[in-house]
Amino acid sequence: MRATITGVGHYVPEKRLTNVELEQMVDTNDEWITTRTGIKERRVLDVDKGTSYMAVQAAQHILDQKRVSADEIDLIILATVTPDMPIPSAASFVQRELNATHCWGFDLNGGCTGFLYALATGAQFVETGKYQKVLVIGADKMSSIIDYQDRNTCVIFGDAAGAVLLEPSEDRDFGILDFDLHLDGKGVDHLYMAGGGSLHPASLETVQNRMHFVFQDGRTVFKHAVKGMADISEKVIQRNGLTAEDIRFLIPHQANHRIIESVSKKLHLRPDQVIENIENYGNTTAATIPLALSEAYQDRRLQAGDRIILSAFGAGFTWGSLLLRWSMGLDGD
Ligand code: UT7
């Protein structure tokens, strides 16, 4: 038995934050942001809404499209670094809003690789035959932890959610075929938010020292991201007896256009084999991959039988690659 994606959905807030608007907020300019990152604008969620709001919209879209009732869901895995609150999980809010009365669920923090961690985890429950319907969501409200006085980070990140439904496939040629995931804590010092956890609980001092915002040593993360994503994707492609020609699409984590370009070149992929939407949304952390996947499906770019590589790199450091064969459309759905 394989686990396969049978539904996709996404949500982005309406409010746009453009490069030109950022020029009024920090010492930056449209030209720098565009050439160094590929980003033109990002979305920002209302201050009175949490990450679960976006996760619910993305998941509800799937339930509506598939005409699946929320009480059929067995498990909700929500990849996020920005839960609505430290306790309880954002998955609890999603379960309540969806009224998914027969499930359990949890949040998973894998940084920008969170969605891949969650997808691989969800797939295990389906492959064993334990569960029939697993909702895997990647959602982040990065605007809640970004310092809009720090030009190193505020130009990069945005808010969004993406979701998939995993169900069993008897045909072992389709669905999630392989994955390779990694964690190396040597990366801890290069991308983190220090305040608000058990080591530095919220205090006047942590607020004054701006410790409730993300810090990133961009240059170091950049180098590791290119090598990490390229090497692991190459490994997954090769060990499945495939070459670049066999891959219909690479859907990379959208952190920087230059990272995506370098990884694609290392993998000998043509631009038409790479799905990129960073220009419109920036880096939405755990949401980038399911958002890009959902948009590509909506635009009818994905065909049944396509071999797709998902790859990401993020805080931890975490990184990984997942190979899947697209099955939606096989039976006319
Ligand atoms: O998603 C999780 C994983 N994250 C990533 O993969 C992100 C990886 N890193 C990156 O994407 C890039 O490193 C950044 C986009 C964050 C930065 O780009 P960079 O080309 O690595 O720039 P840099 O940090 O090396 O800075 C180059 C210069 C510096 O000025 P000096 O020291 O050369 O005078 C910065 O101060 O650009 C300056 N700079 C800016 N200038 C205008 C940094 N941010 C800005 C800005 N506007 N927003």
> Can you spell out the DSSP letters for 258-306?
HHHHHHHHHTT--GGGB---HHHH-B-GGGHHHHHHHHHHHTT---TT-
In terms of domains, do 268 and 162 share one? no
In terms of domains, do 123 and 197 share one? no
The number of residues making up the chain comes to 333
Ligand 1 atom showing the smallest separation from residue 315 Cα = 2
Q: Determine whether the shortest distance from the Cβ of 324 to ligand 1 is under 6 A.
A: no
> Quick one: pLDDT at residue 210?
98
- Do residues 90 and 101 make contact, with C-beta atoms less than 8 angstroms apart? no
Q: Determine whether the shortest distance from the Cβ of 221 to ligand 1 is under 6 A.
A: yes
In terms of domains, do 208 and 83 share one? no
In terms of domains, do 259 and 197 share one? yes
End of a domain among 114, 134, 169? Answer: 169
In terms of domains, do 251 and 130 share one? no
Q: Is residue 330 part of a domain?
A: no
In terms of domains, do 301 and 239 share one? yes
In terms of domains, do 186 and 150 share one? no
> Quick one: pLDDT at residue 332?
53
Farthest-apart Cα atoms in the chain, separation = 58
Report CA torsion sign: 264, 270, 274, 276.
positive
| Domain membership of residue 264 as a residue range | 175-325
Reported pTM: 0.97
In terms of domains, do 296 and 269 share one? yes
**The dihedral formed by the CA atoms of 206, 211, 212 and 218, expressed in degrees to the nearest 10:** 180
- Do residues 6 and 66 make contact, with C-beta atoms less than 8 angstroms apart? yes
End of a domain among 138, 169, 200? Answer: 169
Q: Determine whether the shortest distance from the Cβ of 283 to ligand 1 is under 6 A.
A: yes
Q: What is the mean pLDDT of each run of 10 residues along the chain (333 residues)?
A: 97 98 98 98 98 98 98 98 98 98 98 98 98 98 98 98 97 97 98 98 98 98 98 98 98 98 98 98 98 97 97 98 94 58
- Do residues 43 and 160 make contact, with C-beta atoms less than 8 angstroms apart? yes
In terms of domains, do 134 and 184 share one? no
Provide the pairing of β-strand 75-79 with 41-43.
unpaired
Question: Nearest residue CA, atom 16 of ligand 1?
Answer: 218
Q: Which of 156, 158, 137 is nearest to 94 (CA)?
A: 137
Question: Nearest residue CA, atom 36 of ligand 1?
Answer: 152
Q: Which of 307, 286, 19 is nearest to 142 (CA)?
A: 286
| Number of folded domains that form the chain | 2
- Do residues 206 and 199 make contact, with C-beta atoms less than 8 angstroms apart? no
Burial of 182 (C-beta count, 10 Å sphere; 0-12/13-18/19+): middle
End of a domain among 121, 139, 169? Answer: 169
Q: Is residue 93 part of a domain?
A: yes
Distance (Å, whole) CA 306 – CA 249? 8
In terms of domains, do 21 and 164 share one? yes
In terms of domains, do 50 and 128 share one? yes
Residues 6+ apart with CB under 8 A from 153: 146, 147, 213, 214, 215, 216
Tokens of 199: 């080591």
In terms of domains, do 251 and 275 share one? yes
CA of 314 to the centre of ligand 1 (A): 16
Distance (Å, whole) CA 230 – CA 80? 24
CA of 152 to the centre of ligand 1 (A): 6
Return the CATH number at 252.
Answer: 3.40.47.10
248, HSE (Cβ side, Cα atoms, 13 Å): 14
